Amino acid sequence: MNKYLVITVIGADRPGLVELLARTLVAHNANWLESRMANLAGRFAGMVEADVPEENFERLIEALEKLQSEGLKVMVDSGLSEPDASSFREIQLELIGQDRVGIVQEISAALAQHGVSIDKLHTESESASMSGEILFRATADLRVPKDLDIEKLQQGLEVLADELMVDIHLEKQPLD
Amino acid sequence: MSLSNSSLRELENHNAFIGRHIGPREPDKREMLRTLGLTSMKELIAKVVPASILEDEPLDIAVSCTEQQVLQHLRKLADENKVYKSFIGMGYYGTYTPPVILRNVLENPAWYTAYTPYQPEISQGRLEAILNFQTMISDLTGLDIANSSLLDEGTAAAEAMALCRRMSKSKSNTFFVSKLCHPQTIEVIRTRALPMGYRILVGDHRTDLDGVDLFGLLLQYPGTDGEIHDYQQVVSTAHDMKALVAVAADLLSLTLLKPPAEFGADIAIGTTQRFGVPMGYGGPHAAYMATRDSFKRSLPGRIVGVSIDSRGDPAYRLAMQTREQHIRREKATSNICTAQVLLAVMASMYAVYHGPEGLKSIALRVHRLTSMLAEGLQQLGFTITTKQFFDTIFVDTGGRTEQLHESARARGMNLREVDGDSIGISLDETSSSDDVIALWSVFGGDNLDPEVIEAAAGVRIPAGFIRTTPFLMHKVFHRHRSETAMLRYLRMLSDKDLALDRAMIPLGSCTMKLNATAEMIPVTWPEFCDIHPYAPLEQAEGYNKLIGELEQMLCAVTGYAAVSLQPNAGSQGEFAGLLAISGYHRSRGEEHRNICLIPSSAHGTNPASAQMAGMKVVVVSCDGEGNIDLGDLKSKAQKHSDDLAAIMITYPSTHGVFEENVREVCQVVHQYGGQVYIDGANLNAMVGLCYPGRFGGDVSHLNLHKTFSIPHGGGGPGIGPIGVREHLMPFLPGYPQRTAKEGAVGPVSASPWGSAGILPISWAYIKMMGRDGLLEATCSAILNANYIAHRLHEHYPVLYTGPNGMVAHECIIDLRPIKEATGVTVEDVAKRLIDFGFHSPTMSFPVAGTLMIEPTESESREELDRFCDAMICIREEIRAVELGTLDGEDNPLRNAPHTISDLTQELWKHNYSREQAVYPVSSLRAGKYWSPVGRIDNVYGDRNLVCSCPALSEYEELPNE
């Protein structure tokens, strides 16, 4: 019987961090299921979804905690059951509008209100072609309740600003 | 010693215009070349243009002639046009351009040489005029929001169809077009529907809607036959099946008739031509579109909105640009880029000039005369098949159709040719009771008494259709009734703006060259203005000759076999060019070819056009030097070889470089069965040096408003003719309503030669420059750009150059490292340039965080130096921010532009002096452009969208004008 866990790691970025983490998992026969990693302003953060044979679980936790000495802060969520895929569907969101303070917070609040969870969120701001105004762009992979009215979600986002253009793809497409 | 050794030929100076068009004098050019380490123009060109495409042969164009000669020549051509009184209608009507508008808008460089108002601070005048336009449209149609104009009624109808598709919840693929729509509108819609895969059903809205499933409908109000129908029922039937309803409405009639919104229309479109804009043999005119507030995100074209500036005062800007092609590319609501701003300004000013009561009085007069005409014809025994009408009737000719047309033409009048049994007659603002008497006599009535007939002729608009809602209530439509007031209003607005008559507009890719006065003068001659697009061809001999010659000259310049002048904007040229490619593939049984390769550096209009033409966009990457990545191109062309339709490239590239491998790029695409579309936005760098039709292009559009001197008009008109190689000739756009040319591809514009009325500008430009002048213009444009790149490169990195370290006709300077180091943005630099009296270069295109500078050949060395000095001075200010001698937030860059209000505030709270704020260089003391508003808050406008004149209460707070 395998135990399911989600590991969150944070630390100053340096080469070999992912390898270190992977080595620790392999050493305990843990299975690396899925992960998200990012480096932002020299800080490294990662989340790994894994499962591990029940008998190795305690030792794995200990080993992960020891990584603290290598400069990695580790948090482990265990005892979770795997998410129930049947009640959700995956969609993609693309959004462009005027950048302003608080826009990410407003968007995530609007998503939460519709019971949507964010799998992946990529945001950037850039100077708009021709007018030079600062635009906010976001692309996101979302998990939404199966019965969610997509149009309502779109409207819920669009009311955040008059110039917000929201595209929702129901089919999963590779993000750029 | 003799007084002169010059020959008479030299003294006649046939080349005089070349030196008027080109800025730098000969000694300047030598000095500028020396600065670049070069000795001759030839040496410069050899370093810039790849040897593989550079041609030696002189252009196949006649030598230059003088301004006086060209005006005489055009006078002769004009005299070959026969101006008949037009009663044809079909969306084109006689109108009187109020002389105060003619001279102070249409003939005024302060209006016609301005650019699209992307820099709102220096565009407040025309933004206000466009806001007036939007308010006028929204008032007259009764709908919530209007855009700032579209190209013509036909394309506006096609855009309405696309809007219906986006917003309708119906799953149907069918769009219904009433057979009472103008015939050219139906043709343009068919052309646009085909690549999108929409089915078009043309029929009678009263009988043909049973059992059909639709996503939208287009109705004409009043119908093309003049009939005013009650559309209430059909609108509700449509809404029941989740279809949306677009109504093509005549603007003048709406001063008397119930507005479309009141019978439930979702969209209204139409032309504003009869609001003081001459017919011009088809254009240019401003079309309009209005819709519900909830559809605003899908509204195509530009929209002006109200925001606030840095002091919190109201200020105008372009709103909702996130919908547009330059941001959204193939996801944009439309490929529309250029609108018809100059003409929209004219139409809005016509409403300002006449006011609601004046417009209504014109409409009532037109209607009275039409009722009298109908009454008289009835008394003469003719059947008027139109029962309820505003200004148009169809008459049953009883088999005498041809004879009646002949009789009308013998009196200098054109009636509408409908079919063998009926004739259409439309009256307009210029019609008089004498005209009605003359029309009666065409139908054999020489003894009718107009006074008796007037008494008998009632109102032919049924009571239920009479407008009750007031319109144009805003005070701008009430306070400029005297000519003095009007004159000053126009002057007050244009004084707020920065156009070419004040300073260089170094916008990269936009080619803001001289629009010479001699080129502009013929545009307002009645022989060019007052010809209806569907007048008999033999009455437009002068036009036909001019069009033929211009087509031939453009073929010579591009190396193509044929040219179509129909597309009336660059975006439409792109669409027409891609249709030609699709048509060609279809003719070879390869209609499945639908992949369009587009380099990542392309202008956003390219992918938007490809999408409209039913193609799928595949992006080809660029290498570190900004060139098309050949490896990526080859692998994508090969991968899609079975369904490769085309590549769209811009040459010289949008990065401002002549790519060395352009021939190879074209060969690769041809090898895999694709056609090569060369976007002619930068053709001005090639004229006389190389020819897209010879180095691999199959089709190109040209921007006559860039390369061939048509002014930008503050955001239109533009003309985007396409040139094609021989094998694509059968796939040029067809001519609406002209049987002369039936093609495999339908018309893309509502009139056969698009914006024919402004073609004399480009014709005159080419004639006056001649073979040698055109080449000299190209070389001088390249010299000017390289001179600027050379003067600035120590201060700002130049992003892309060719293998010899040279740029083409424009250069991109990179501000990203500056932003990284100091926080100063490209927007800060652009707005600071306003304090120096300059329009900013193009911002963040094609690369975000950069400025693209295109000086054109028309700017003198002195002006180039003034600009470079300003840029260098700004660089010093940036350095001061970097060194900490200027504050990171409170500095002249971040606070730019500085207004007189800023300067005169009681307490100067900044860390730099007033002098540095407004006179950063001492030469500004002799003459300075003052920005009327501070920096505009885009976010405020975004959160508080207002797209018509601000409410009266807000206006009251403004300082009295």
| CA-based nearest residue to B768, from B757, B777, B755, B758 | B777
**Window from B68-77, B440-449, B671-680, B943-952 with minimum mean pLDDT:** B943-952
- What confidence category does residue A41 fall into, taking pLDDT thresholds of 50, 70 and 90? confident
Cβ pair B942:A161 closer than 8 A: yes
Which domains can be identified in chain A, with CATH numbers?
2-78 (3.30.70.260), 86-169 (3.30.70.260)
SS3 string, B355-399, reads HHHHHHHHHHHHHHHHHHHHHHHHHCCCEECCCCECCEEEEECCC
**Window from A11-15, B116-120, B156-160, B455-459 with minimum mean pLDDT:** A11-15
The reply to whether the predicted model has a pTM over 0.90 is yes
Containing H/E element for B318?
strand B314-319
Q: How far apart are CA B711 and CA B524, in angstroms?
A: 14
Of the two residues A29 and B579, the one the predictor is more confident about is B579
pLDDT tens profile B274-325? 999 999 999 999 999 999 999 999 999 999 999 999 999 999 999 988 888 8
Name residue B838's amino acid: F
Query: Among A96, A100, A127, whose Cβ lies nearest the Cβ of B322?
Result: A96
Chain B neighbors of A149, CB-CB under 8 A: none
Residue A118 forms contact with B (CB below 8 Å): no
- DSSP type of residue B559: T
Cβ pair A126:B825 closer than 8 A: no
- What confidence category does residue B866 fall into, taking pLDDT thresholds of 50, 70 and 90? very high
Closest residue in chain A to residue B293, using alpha carbons only? A162
SS3 string, B458-470, reads CCCCCHHHECCCC
Q: Is A126's pLDDT higher than 90?
A: no
Q: What is the pLDDT of residue A84?
A: 66
What percentage of residues in chain B have a pLDDT greater than 90? 93
Q: What is the pLDDT of residue A5?
A: 87
Residue A124 forms contact with B (CB below 8 Å): no
Cβ pair A129:B328 closer than 8 A: no
Query: Among B845, B846, B942, whose Cβ lies nearest the Cβ of A162?
Result: B942
Chain A neighbors of B830, CB-CB under 8 A: 132
Q: What is the pLDDT of residue A174?
A: 46
- DSSP type of residue A55: G
Cβ pair A133:B938 closer than 8 A: yes
Q: How far apart are CA A21 and CA A14, in angstroms?
A: 13
Query: Among B323, B326, B943, whose Cβ lies nearest the Cβ of A129?
Result: B326
Residue B298 forms contact with A (CB below 8 Å): no
Residues 326-365 of B with CB under 8 A from A: 326-328, 331
Chain A neighbors of B326, CB-CB under 8 A: 129-130
Residue A18 forms contact with B (CB below 8 Å): no
- What confidence category does residue B744 fall into, taking pLDDT thresholds of 50, 70 and 90? confident
Residue A46 forms contact with B (CB below 8 Å): no
Q: Is B959's pLDDT higher than 80?
A: no
pLDDT tens profile B132-142? 999 999 999 99
Residue B830 forms contact with A (CB below 8 Å): yes
Query: Among B843, B849, B939, whose Cβ lies nearest the Cβ of A131?
Result: B843
pLDDT tens profile B482-514? 999 999 999 999 999 999 999 999 999 999 999
Q: Is B950's pLDDT higher than 80?
A: no
Query: Among A130, A158, A165, whose Cβ lies nearest the Cβ of B326?
Result: A130
Chain B neighbors of A133, CB-CB under 8 A: 321, 827, 938
Residue B917 forms contact with A (CB below 8 Å): no
Q: How far apart are CA A150 and CA B169, in angstroms?
A: 13
Could you tell me how far CA B460 lies from the centroid of its own chain?
Answer: 37
- What confidence category does residue A89 fall into, taking pLDDT thresholds of 50, 70 and 90? confident
Query: Among A98, A126, A129, whose Cβ lies nearest the Cβ of B939?
Result: A98
Alpha carbons within 13 A on the beta-carbon side of B936? 28
The C-alpha of B845 sits at a distance from chain A's nearest C-alpha, in angstroms, of: 5
Tally of CB atoms within 10 A around B791? 18
pLDDT tens profile B776-828? 999 999 999 999 999 999 999 999 999 999 999 999 999 999 999 999 999 99
Closest residue in chain B to residue A165, using alpha carbons only? B322
- DSSP type of residue B63: P
Cβ pair B327:A133 closer than 8 A: no
Q: How far apart are CA B882 and CA A111, in angstroms?
A: 41
Q: Is B952's pLDDT higher than 90?
A: no
Query: Among B318, B323, B331, whose Cβ lies nearest the Cβ of A131?
Result: B318
Residue A168 forms contact with B (CB below 8 Å): no
Place of tokens 């008479």: B8
Cβ pair B326:A158 closer than 8 A: no
Query: Among A97, A127, A158, whose Cβ lies nearest the Cβ of B827?
Result: A127
Average pLDDT, chain B: 95
ipTM of the complex: 0.81
Q: Is B669's pLDDT higher than 50?
A: yes
DSSP reduced 3-state for B303: strand
What percentage of residues in chain B have a pLDDT greater than 70? 98
- Total beta-carbon pairs less than 8 A apart between chain A and chain B: 86
